[in-house]
Amino acid sequence: MLSVAEARARILAPLRPTGTELVGLAEGWGRVLAAPVLARLTQPPADVSAMDGYALRAVDGVVGARLRVVGEAPAGHPFAGCVGPGEAVRLFTGSVIPDGADTILLQEDATREGASVTVNEACAARRHVREAGQDFRAGMVLLEPGRRLGARDIGLAAAANHPWLTVHRRPTVAIMATGDEIAMPGEPISPGGIVSSNAHALAALVRAGGGVPVTLPVVPDDRAALVAAIDQVMGASILVTTGGASVGDHDLVQSALAERGFKLDFWKIAMRPGKPLISGSVAGMPVLGLPGNPVSALICAALFLLPSLDVLSGQVAATPRTEWATLGAALRANDGRADHLRSTLSNGPGGELVVTPFARQDSGLLSALARADALVLRAPYAPEAPIGSPVQIIRLDNLGL
Amino acid sequence: MLSVAEARARILAPLRPTGTELVGLAEGWGRVLAAPVLARLTQPPADVSAMDGYALRAVDGVVGARLRVVGEAPAGHPFAGCVGPGEAVRLFTGSVIPDGADTILLQEDATREGASVTVNEACAARRHVREAGQDFRAGMVLLEPGRRLGARDIGLAAAANHPWLTVHRRPTVAIMATGDEIAMPGEPISPGGIVSSNAHALAALVRAGGGVPVTLPVVPDDRAALVAAIDQVMGASILVTTGGASVGDHDLVQSALAERGFKLDFWKIAMRPGKPLISGSVAGMPVLGLPGNPVSALICAALFLLPSLDVLSGQVAATPRTEWATLGAALRANDGRADHLRSTLSNGPGGELVVTPFARQDSGLLSALARADALVLRAPYAPEAPIGSPVQIIRLDNLGL
């Protein structure tokens, strides 16, 4: 069976980023940049003051000197003249430093009396001056393609004078839940039926990952209905199915996909929870078949679907971020399947991050997954680990999970 | 001057959660729950099989026994009869276990021939049975009010049969940038002018924090215009201003707020960057006045506005999450202001998280903030810290910043 890392590499390899679109700057948050953002101007555009005070010649900035205030230059209203010997201009944080001046006398180091100001602290040349271009110069690349834009990136693109951004389109993720036993929340439940949870949780995760979910009506266990559903979503960035991935007689998804020329890459991974996982493509559309068990489906989605969304969105492939933590409960040796233990996080006496796996790891416990803060990653055949061992974890809240 | 923690406590204390609204389950991701989600059913609703195989009486599950297959029970189609002695029913993961049966023979431990199946591994009673209610029982509280809903919570609410969720309304955040020098990206820039970045970055951060930004047109440095702008946004969950918070002559925001009965709580914090920070309220609307400097504004927003959004959204107050990391560069002793050093993260030889502050911490460098992965928190008067010291950090990417 494939390892988790091999499986992820094989799932991601054929994925291609979506095309581009133009969005207004205000719509850019969370999107992935598709073209570099170059500075369209120099910032600051001229030498400006870093403080409130007075602009003057440094040679005049000696203690006791009394200077004539010849004007003022609030931010946005530069002083048009030149600061001569014995002169000063009142200015503020961000004000352009007038010609002639080369230093700033801080407001708190000055005594103002009418049209004159007295220097109470010596002023070194160029002090409190923000030089033109110290943040960036026109033409510089400020943001690289492939970056998912945060609030500060939006601020930087704005400062660089970009009202529009070229980003990748949000990938469309078709979500197909199958099974005669599935009812929608609030709708009648047949005997032996259960309420659909996977499709809704996956749609939420797709949003968290920056994609657009298309949730199909639940498809019954009927091959013709499955084929019709598949035909309906051709052209999606990826088709995600849930259920029907094991070897049971009633798993019709694979045979329905086969009718449309499905190319199977693999359908089993050495992991727990979630061994049955289909990867392949149908008519060029990638297909990821998640297990029907809700806990398995969500953990597989975190490990395989979120990185797929990153790649489809044009981001540099980001496997889920792992961190180190200290084990709060002893673990037995692992078998041949990589394990993903639902765990809580706390802080140890020294502030260190302590991760404590739940005693019960049954993949039927969706309520326990909701209570978990993190997954402890246990490699195949990992030896037993006493309390205090360092272990790798994936935090769940960071994923929008 | 106030400490960062005191300032945050005073900013958060008067904030009240928004009212509630009903949203469809599919719209619930990222919203804050305002009413508990109780299980409307028991999950699993009956004892079900955890595997594909055969249901039988444990007394019949001895190696070599040959049982008569009397029916099958795919998930959603329970077997209506009773499993008698010497009988078995074919079933699958999630199938209801028929009356009479009390264990599961795994498919891989069985040999099927026509209407009979031979037991190849002994079956202990209750093995591979998921008991009714092991995930949750009808009436249990599954999700508490005040929780920001992740994908797994949506899945759990779905499984508990909730098509609707009662959540807090998204807080409305009025964003008012002031200053004659400010131009919108792409619009004409006057001499000495700069392009607006704060309002856009803050609007993006408000979205990241689950709020609805209302970005006002830039208000010139004119008291009447400022008063008119304030009147326009009365009733917002919070008014955020940027610029005009220092003591400069041209800072008119406070005097404009005063005309509408502004109650000032404080306007200075012992922190860097961002000392000038106004907190107060006008006609019951909380007001947070951020510095005009973009780096200061965003760091103050991360420290004070995001927790405010948490409280306004009904979430339990969450100060920005801090973590420990190992210092990658020596730091000098700090002065009396808490510092927030823009830094990069990397992994040390043992996998540990290493945080390295930029050599240059000028708050004029928005491009450096965009390159930073984290802020190192330096307490007032913190002693010098050699390479390898443990320090507290705030990761920026987790904040949507």
Give how far A12 is from chain B: nearest CA, Å: 22
What's the topology of domain B323-399? Beta-clip (2.40.340)
pLDDT reported for residue B317? 64
Cβ atoms B279, B214 nearer than 8 A: no
pLDDT reported for residue A385? 97
- B250 contacts on A by Cβ (under 8 Å): 74-75, 92
**Average pLDDT value for residue range B194-218:** 95
- A93 contacts on B by Cβ (under 8 Å): 246, 248, 292-293
Side-chain-facing half-sphere of B326: CA atoms under 13 Å: 12
- B247 contacts on A by Cβ (under 8 Å): 52, 107
Choose the weakest-confidence range: A245-254, A316-325, B17-26, B33-42.
Answer: A245-254
Q: Going by C-beta distance under 8 Å and a sequence separation of 6 or more, which residues neighbour residue B203? A: A26, A154, B175, B213, B215
pLDDT reported for residue A307? 96
CATH fourth-level superfamily of B21-42+140-168: Molybdopterin biosynthesis moea protein, domain 2 (3.90.105.10)
Question: Bridge-partner residues for A174, per DSSP?
Answer: A214, A239
pTM for this entry: 0.93
Question: Bridge-partner residues for A173, per DSSP?
Answer: A213, A238
Query: Could you tell me which CATH class the domain A48-130 is placed in?
Result: mainly beta
Asked whether the beta carbons of residue A181 and residue B154 sit closer than 8 angstroms, the reply is no
The per-residue b/e assignment along A67-84, b for 16 or more CB within 10 angstroms, e otherwise, is bebbbbbbbbbbbeeebe
Distance of CA B62 to the CA centre of its chain: 52
Task: Give me chain A's average pLDDT, please.
Answer: 93
pLDDT over 80 at A52, yes or no: yes
**Average pLDDT value for residue range A196-207:** 96
Cβ atoms B129, B113 nearer than 8 A: no
Asked whether the beta carbons of residue B200 and residue A26 sit closer than 8 angstroms, the reply is yes
Asked whether the beta carbons of residue B397 and residue A150 sit closer than 8 angstroms, the reply is yes
| Helix residue spans in B190-293 (DSSP H) | 198-208, 223-232, 253-259
What's the topology of domain A4-16+170-312? Molybdenum Cofactor Biosythetic Enzyme; Chain A (3.40.980)
In the structure, what pLDDT confidence band is assigned to residue A255 with cuts at 50, 70 and 90?
confident
pLDDT reported for residue B246? 53
Cβ atoms B367, A156 nearer than 8 A: yes
Cβ atoms A81, A98 nearer than 8 A: yes
pLDDT over 90 at B101, yes or no: yes
Asked whether the beta carbons of residue B201 and residue A45 sit closer than 8 angstroms, the reply is no
Asked whether the beta carbons of residue A400 and residue B153 sit closer than 8 angstroms, the reply is no
Question: Bridge-partner residues for A370, per DSSP?
Answer: none
pLDDT over 60 at B58, yes or no: yes
**Average pLDDT value for residue range A76-88:** 93
pLDDT reported for residue B244? 64
Task: Choose from A218-222, A224-228, B73-77 the range with maximum mean pLDDT.
Answer: A224-228
pLDDT reported for residue B266? 86
Element (H, E) at A49: strand A48-49
Cβ atoms B292, B300 nearer than 8 A: no
pLDDT reported for residue B62? 94
Asked whether the beta carbons of residue A44 and residue B194 sit closer than 8 angstroms, the reply is yes
pLDDT reported for residue B20? 98
- B203 contacts on A by Cβ (under 8 Å): 26, 154
Asked whether the beta carbons of residue B160 and residue A134 sit closer than 8 angstroms, the reply is no
Residue A101: other Cβ atoms inside 10 A: 27
Asked whether the beta carbons of residue B75 and residue A201 sit closer than 8 angstroms, the reply is no
Q: Going by C-beta distance under 8 Å and a sequence separation of 6 or more, which residues neighbour residue A338? A: A3, A4, A270, A271, A272, A377, A378, A379, A380
Query: Which segments of A291-337 are extended strands (E)?
Result: 323-327
- Residue from A200, A290, A293, A303 whose CB has the most chain B CBs within 10 Å, to mutate: A200
Question: Bridge-partner residues for A113, per DSSP?
Answer: A116
Choose the weakest-confidence range: A163-172, B289-298, B371-380.
Answer: B289-298
Q: How far is the C-alpha of B346 from the C-alpha of B353, rounded, in Å? A: 6
Give how far A286 is from chain B: nearest CA, Å: 22
Cβ atoms B250, B223 nearer than 8 A: no
Q: Return the number of CB contacts < 8 Å for A and B.
A: 313
**Per-residue model confidence as pLDDT tens digits over B276-328:** 889 999 999 999 999 888 999 999 999 999 999 999 999 976 778 899 999 99
Cβ atoms A27, B215 nearer than 8 A: no
Annotated domain spans of chain A: 4-16+170-312, 20-43+145-168, 48-130, 323-399
**CA nearest A184: which of A211, A156, A203, A161?**
A203
- A195 contacts on B by Cβ (under 8 Å): 41, 158-161
Distance of CA A66 to the CA centre of its chain: 56
- B160 contacts on A by Cβ (under 8 Å): 195
**CA nearest A151: which of B3, B230, B201, B26?**
B201
pLDDT reported for residue A36? 98
pLDDT reported for residue A246? 53
pLDDT reported for residue A17? 97
pLDDT reported for residue A254? 86
Question: Bridge-partner residues for A177, per DSSP?
Answer: A242
What's the topology of domain A20-43+145-168? Molybdopterin biosynthesis moea protein, domain 2 (3.90.105)
**Average pLDDT value for residue range B256-264:** 93
pLDDT reported for residue B147? 96
CA angle B105, B110, B115 (to 5 degrees): 100
**Per-residue model confidence as pLDDT tens digits over B207-247:** 999 999 999 999 988 899 999 999 999 999 999 999 765 54
Asked whether the beta carbons of residue B192 and residue A75 sit closer than 8 angstroms, the reply is yes
**Average pLDDT value for residue range A13-35:** 97
pLDDT over 70 at A249, yes or no: no
**Per-residue model confidence as pLDDT tens digits over A141-159:** 999 999 999 999 999 999 9
